[in-house]
């Protein structure tokens, strides 16, 4: 028979525990596996937020980035959310998407105060990311914040992101807000299309 | 492992207590119970509180949190999981294993080297034994390698049943009669026991896949079966588990999820691979 008795795994002391040491030190190890191990261990330590974020800024291995982000989501504090928000401006698409996904998985009450101010950032791309993110957060201020974007943001693409976010929220109270956009950009065919789509969605057509 | 879906009016736990319980169980075990499972959770907790003679929910929660042995948490977890499965469930993935995935795993490996396969969330053992029988019967290179089979579950009671390897007709409905005769001994009118050699070939262990320390023991796996388990985790729990499975796998190793599950919705770490029989998820080379 080619099946051999597997060596016993359950109950054995994990290698890391046997070695001891500080996971904060492992974060700088040359071996990506060791850095992931550090991130796993630090996901229970709110005091590790600065170190995790510092590593995230420098990290080039995608698998380590993912583990660092997961650790920050597990910590889930306001400090962790605040540390992630600047990465929304990252040129690294993978990191930026990872950050958006991570912020979505953190408590909305913690994330919203950190993300809402970005709705008025100077960079319109950043405002688009913020609108997308706000739309995903189950928070009582969501509708008002996105309504503010639709009523005041000068860039039509930011407004359309807010429309999309409101449509995804499925809240029929969003329709009158969305319809106001036609008044601001009456000749824009994309606005006309989006408003019509929202009417169809919320009327159940 | 799977969880039930019974519904009904809740009796004992207040909303705050229910939330506290769910939060605690999620942190410790990865299991995520929504409001829809409230009746189920309520009944199990009430049963265990009566069994240990604790009157107040907060007292019981403290017992779970701080009991050094962890015995009561284990007993509660055993009551919170239901394990309905059968041999050769979702057979197309076993087809994929022997028709394509394993050949890719062993490409370039010397004959006699190890191949490690892990059934995570093995419940009463039907999955790891199905893997073992499929390998022996259908993988044409089975004799070229030393194959190690690991199986784990968070529920100590089902793990004991898996090690006993005794099954009734319901579990064996998809088992061809010739394989039943070949690998099982009939115990009585209703039950069969899988042969000793197969029982001895699998390492069964009690493992909580939400615990990074326990997961550090699993390294160098070539294939992980984790089917219909992560659907009971929340988004963060799934993401964390995916990250730890990544570390448990060898480069180019595969993970098999249940038919309704998609790794792409859990994590960006794996590459989906479409084989003729199934879609598996692969850990990249580097």
| Residue A10: per-residue pLDDT | 55
Contact B206 A43 (CB under 8 A): no
Which residue's entry shows tokens 């605040």?
A: A82
**pLDDT tens figures, B29-78:** 888 888 888 888 888 888 889 888 888 888 898 888 888 888 888 888 88
Q: Which pLDDT tens digit goes with each residue over B235-269?
A: 899 999 999 999 999 999 999 998 888 898 888 89
In whole angstroms, give the CA distance from residue B99 to residue A134. 46
State how many domains chain A has. 2
* Cβ partners under 8 Å of residue B189, min gap 6: none
Nearest Cα to B30, choosing from B259, B265, B212? B212
pLDDT of residue B170: 85
DSSP state letters, A43-109: TT-GGGHHHHHHHHHH---HHHHHHHHHHHHHH--HHHHHHHGGGGG-S-HHHHHHHHHHHHHS-HH
End-of-domain residue from the set A106, A139, A161:
A106
In a domain, B7, yes or no: no
Flag whether A8 is in a domain: no
CA gap A41, A53 in Å, rounded = 15
Domain harbouring B224, CATH code: 3.40.50.150
**Of the residues A74, A106, A138, the one at which a domain ends:** A106
* CATH number, position A179: 1.25.10
Which of B46, B80, B114 corresponds to the end of one domain?
A: B80
B106 and chain A: CB distance < 8 Å anywhere? no
Q: pLDDT grade, residue B10 (50/70/90)?
A: very low
Q: Strand, coil or helix: what is B166?
A: strand
- Total CB pairs under 8 A between chain A and B: 100
Q: Is residue B9 part of a domain?
A: no
Confidence check: pLDDT of B2 > 80 = no
Most distant pair of Cα atoms in chain B: their distance: 62
Q: How far is CA A110 from CA A52, A78, A116, A181, B26, in A?
A: 18, 5, 11, 30, 19
B133 shares contact with chain A (CB less than 8 Å)? no
Are residues B197 and B100 part of one domain? Answer: yes
Task: From A64, A84, A106, give the residue that closes a domain.
Answer: A106
* Residue B226 pLDDT exceeds 60: yes
B143 contact partners, CB below 8 Å, separation of at least 6:
A2
What residue in A sits closest to B213 (Cα-Cα)?
A14
Give the closest residue to A164 by CA, choosing from A138, A137, A136. Answer: A136
Parent domain of A196:
111-205
Q: Which residues of B touch A16 (CB under 8 A)?
A: 213, 216
* Pairing mode, strands B279-282 and B146-153: unpaired
Domain assignment of residue B10, yes or no:
no
Tokens describing residue B232 = 């009971």
Q: Can you give the CATH number for the domain in which B62 is found?
A: 1.10.155
Q: Same structural domain for residues A117 and A100? A: no
CB contact under 8 A, A4 and B205: no
Given B61, B80, B99, the domain boundary residue is B80
Please state the rounded mean pLDDT for residues B158-167.
96
Find the helix or strand (DSSP H, E) in which B150 lies: strand B146-153
* Distance, CA of B221 to chain centre: 15
CA dist A25 → A21, A41, A48, A70, B219 (Å): 8, 12, 11, 19, 22
Does residue A140 register a pLDDT over 50? yes
CA distance A39 to chain B (A): 10
Rounded Cα distance between B48 and B64, Å, is 11
Q: Are residues B130 and B230 in the same domain?
A: yes
Q: Could you tell me if A205 and A164 lie in one domain?
A: yes
Residue B132 lies in a domain: yes
What is the ipTM, given to two decimal places?
A: 0.78
Cα B172 to the chain's mean position, in Å?
19
Question: How many structural domains are present in chain B?
Answer: 2
Q: Is the minimum CB–CB distance between B213 and chain A shorter than 8 Å? A: yes
Q: Which domain holds residue B179?
A: 91-282
Contact between B227 and B90 (Cβ < 8 Å): yes
Work out the pLDDT band at B108, boundaries 50, 70, 90. very high
Q: How far apart are CA B265 and CA B257, in angstroms?
A: 12
Asked if residue A204 and residue A119 are part of one domain, the reply reads yes
The first and second tokens of residue B83, run together, are 């394990």
Same-domain status, A172 and A121: yes
Q: What pLDDT, on a 0 to 100 scale, did the predictor assign at position A143?
A: 93
Query: Do the chains contact at A3 and B136, CB–CB below 8 Å?
Result: yes
State whether B129 and B72 are in the same domain: no
Regarding whether A200 and A120 lie in a shared domain, the answer is yes
Given this model, what pLDDT does residue B82 score?
67
* B217, B267, B268: residue with CB nearest A14: B217
Does A178 have pLDDT greater than 60? yes
Nearest alpha-carbon partner for A55 in A78, A75, A76, A32: A32
Q: Based on the domain organization, do B67 and B96 belong to the same domain?
A: no
Q: Is residue B154's pLDDT more than 80?
A: yes
Domain boundary among the residues B60, B80, B100 is at B80
Query: pLDDT tens digits for A5-45?
Result: 777 765 444 555 555 688 999 999 999 999 999 999 999 89
* pLDDT, tens digit, 9 for 90 and up, residues A1-10: 488 877 776 5
């Amino acid at each position: 028979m080619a099946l051999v008795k597997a060596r016993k795994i359950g109950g054995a002391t994990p290698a890391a525990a046997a070695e001891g040491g500080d996971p904060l030190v492992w974060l700088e190890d040359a071996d990506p596996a060791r850095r992931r191990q550090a991130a796993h261990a630090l996901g229970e330590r709110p005091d590790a937020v600065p170190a995790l974020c510092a590593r995230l800024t420098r990290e080039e291995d995608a698998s380590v980035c993912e583990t660092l982000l997961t650790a920050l989501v597990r910590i889930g504090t306001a400090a962790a959310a605040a540390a992630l928000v600047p990465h929304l401006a990252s040129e690294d698409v993978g990191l930026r998407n990872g950050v958006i996904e991570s912020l979505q998985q953190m408590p909305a009450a913690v994330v919203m105060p950190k993300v809402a101010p970005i709705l008025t950032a100077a960079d319109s791309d950043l405002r688009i990311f913020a609108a997308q993110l706000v739309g995903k957060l189950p928070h009582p201020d969501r509708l008002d914040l996105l309504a503010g974007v639709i009523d005041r943001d000068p860039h039509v693409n930011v407004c359309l992101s807010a429309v999309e976010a409101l449509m995804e929220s499925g809240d029929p109270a969003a329709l009158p807000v969305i319809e106001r956009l036609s008044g601001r950009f009456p000749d824009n065919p994309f606005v006309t299309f989006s408003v019509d789509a929202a009417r169809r969605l919320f009327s159940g057509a | 492992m799977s969880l039930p879906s019974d519904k009904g009016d809740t009796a004992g736990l207040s909303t705050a207590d229910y939330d506290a319980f769910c939060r605690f169980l999620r942190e410790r075990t990865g299991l995520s119970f929504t409001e829809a499972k409230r009746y189920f959770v309520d009944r199990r907790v009430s049963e265990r509180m009566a069994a240990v003679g604790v009157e107040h929910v907060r007292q019981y929660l403290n017992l779970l949190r701080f009991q050094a042995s962890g015995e009561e948490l284990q007993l509660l977890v055993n009551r919170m999981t239901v394990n309905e499965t059968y041999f050769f469930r979702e057979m197309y993935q076993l087809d994929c294993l022997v028709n394509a995935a394993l050949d890719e795993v062993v490409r370039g490996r010397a004959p006699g080297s190890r191949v490690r396969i892990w059934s995570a969330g093995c419940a009463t053992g039907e999955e790891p034994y199905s893997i073992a029988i499929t390998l022996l019967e259908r993988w044409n290179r089975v004799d070229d390698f030393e194959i190690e089979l690991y199986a784990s579950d968070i529920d100590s009671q089902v793990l004991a049943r898996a090690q006993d390897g005794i099954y009734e007709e319901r579990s064996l409905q998809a088992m061809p009669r010739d394989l039943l005769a070949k690998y099982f001994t009939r115990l009585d009118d209703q039950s069969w026991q899988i042969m000793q050699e197969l029982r001895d070939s699998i390492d069964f262990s009690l493992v909580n896949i939400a615990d990074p320390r326990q997961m550090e023991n699993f390294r160098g796996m070539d294939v992980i079966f984790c089917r219909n388990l992560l659907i009971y985790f929340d988004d963060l729990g799934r993401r964390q588990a995916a990250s730890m499975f990544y570390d448990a796998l060898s480069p180019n190793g595969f993970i098999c999820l249940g038919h309704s599950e998609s790794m792409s919705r859990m994590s960006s770490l794996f590459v989906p691979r479409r084989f003729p029989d199934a879609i598996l998820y692969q850990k990249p080379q580097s």
